[in-house]
Amino acid sequence: MHRLIVALLASVDAVIAAAVGLAVTLAPLTLLWVFGFGGGADWGVLWPSAVSVWQLGNLVPLSIALPPDYLAATGIDAGAASFVLSLAPLAFAGFTAIFAARSGARASHADAWLTGVLTSSAVFALVSTGAALSGANGVASAETWQAILVPTLLFVLPALVAAIVTEWSEAGSGAIARLRDRIESAPHDWGEVPALIARGTAVVVLGLVGVGAAVAAVALFARAGQIVALFQAGDVDPIGATVITLVQLAYVPTLAVWGMSFVAGPGFAVGTGTAVSPAGTQVGVIPGLPALGAVPESTTSWLLLLALLPIALGALAGWIARSRLLHAGGPSRTRMLQPAPSAGPASSRFDAGKTAALSGLLSGSATQEPGAEGHLDDHLEAAEDPIAARLVVTAGIALLSGGAAALLAWAASGSLGPGRLAEFGPDAGPVGLAVGLEVLLGAAILLLSPRAADGRHSAAQNPALGAAAVEPATADDDPHAEPPEAAAFAAVAAFTARRSGAAPTEDAEQPHPSPPARGSRPAPLPGTDGGVAPEATTEPIELPRSAPPGEGNGSQ
């Protein structure tokens, strides 16, 4: 596709990503202005309000300064008139990131990923700049550089990551494709390491978000009565209830990240000096927001078993990576154990493989020097299944998963108001550390465990046994081939006789049961002074022929 067309499509994607987020905010505010205030309020306040909500949803902290008239009407202390609002409704950020990733992948499919990412990022930055400059107000203000840079980064990073991942997995040419080919050509499974780390991290992060969402849903369902009671205590009209419900829906992804932090162990806070975790819950007076009614008043120590879920996700990622390593290295290991093909018939190949296998099996202990088995096994292990590559994959999955969990925890935490409301959400450091250690444990269980120790060691110590394990499948193709059991017993008997010295060599002439040829002199009989026994001859016997039926009747 032409680069100009790619640039135009990327620009449209960026405009839509910003416009949809602003429209989702502006639409309910417009309904509130029409039905709540009867159209008497100033229309000009809707756009700055929508921009402020959109900026908060895209991780831009807002400085709130309540006007004196509002303080006098509500009786709020003047000390609480100004505070920072930074607890983001992550539904907006999630939509921006998903739309950006879609745009980056589309640009990669058009073979112009760099053009698409740069163009869409520039257009989104322009939209963010226009919104920041046109939506400035005195009640909810943001630093101009933050209002421009933070939403732009939230769009650029997912678009760039999606484009690079798509190029890595699908592109046939280009700088990333050449780098991929060079890395994947590395020996001993090292070429699979980057892809395995990325795949395992994606599995863990998606699993953690899903588990957190499930825990949040269970909490909302279990404490639905408390949530309804808080709705009723608010004494709001239907319009107010609708607005509150929409706001809480925007915070559903934030609650999912809180659930993830709860499952990981560190938990989250609902105010200064509070903690909600499986180990215990300590909460004081919390805001009367209906969604916060899902916060449990107490917890049981049995909830500590939830920490097994991140471990299980790490084990799943390790199993996927281990399966990929086995699939990538399987043919080379099979070729190492198979004997060279022979041009002879199938029975000859079967006999050769059978003799070599049993000879190596029975004489290996006598001919192999001490320590040779372990030495050979070490070499095969280093060549076939390098522990270093698996260590790097395990550590990479754990580090990236912990970093992603810490990033999500940081995005889902912030301030909701003055005083005790200044600390809400999980602490990024403990959450990232806990997730990293749990994923490391789960991934190490499957990635660093021994691989098929018995079968691999026996094949490594006795290569002939490995040949025998492969060769019968070839011999079965011949319908006249010997059964493996009979051949094995015959070889064991021959080996035992050879060890005792009573067995003839393989090239010795064996007596034949047929009579001697004509003209050969029979052996002399013992005790006859050289006399020989008369040669036995055979003569044909003539049987009387029966007369035809007609002749017999005539003679009578």
What are the tens digits of pLDDT across the range 211-221?
999 999 999 99
Q: What is the pLDDT of residue 493?
A: 63
In angstroms, rounded to a whole number, what is the distance separating the alpha carbons of residues 98 and 94?
6
Q: What is the pLDDT of residue 407?
A: 96
What are the tens digits of pLDDT across the range 151-166?
999 999 999 999 999 9
Token code pair at residue 3: 């680069």
| Mean pLDDT, residues 102-113 taken together | 90
pLDDT above 50 for 354: no
In angstroms, rounded to a whole number, what is the distance separating the alpha carbons of residues 196 and 390?
10
Q: Of 36-50, 95-109, 119-133, 466-480, which gets the smallest average pLDDT?
A: 466-480
In angstroms, rounded to a whole number, what is the distance separating the alpha carbons of residues 146 and 61?
8
Q: Are 100 and 156 in contact (CB under 8 A)?
A: yes
- From residue 393, alpha-carbon distances to 128, 164, 256 in Å are 39, 20, 28
Q: What is the pLDDT of residue 268?
A: 93
In angstroms, rounded to a whole number, what is the distance separating the alpha carbons of residues 475 and 357?
14
In angstroms, rounded to a whole number, what is the distance separating the alpha carbons of residues 95 and 73?
37
Q: What is the pLDDT of residue 491?
A: 63
Number of Cβ within a 10 Å radius of residue 230: 17
Of residues 492 and 373, which shows the higher confidence score?
A: 492
Nearest CA to 160 out of 10, 380, 375 is that of 10
Q: What is the pLDDT of residue 489?
A: 56
In angstroms, rounded to a whole number, what is the distance separating the alpha carbons of residues 372 and 169?
43
How does residue 13 score in pLDDT terms, banded at 50, 70 and 90?
very high
Q: What is the pLDDT of residue 417?
A: 86
Q: Are 113 and 167 in contact (CB under 8 A)?
A: yes
In angstroms, rounded to a whole number, what is the distance separating the alpha carbons of residues 29 and 514?
111
User: Where do we find the tokens 């990929």?
Assistant: 324
Strand, coil or helix: 344? coil
Q: Is the pTM value of this prediction over 0.75? A: no
Q: Are 251 and 90 in contact (CB under 8 A)?
A: yes
Nearest CA to 403 out of 122, 246, 208 is that of 208
Distance of CA 151 to the CA centre of its chain: 30
pLDDT above 90 for 441: yes
User: Where do we find the tokens 């064996």?
Assistant: 510
Q: pLDDT over 90 for what percent of the chain?
A: 38
In angstroms, rounded to a whole number, what is the distance separating the alpha carbons of residues 412 and 360?
65
Sheet bearing 82-85, strands edge to edge: 82-85, 62-65, 140-141
What are the tens digits of pLDDT across the range 124-150?
999 999 999 998 888 888 999 999 999
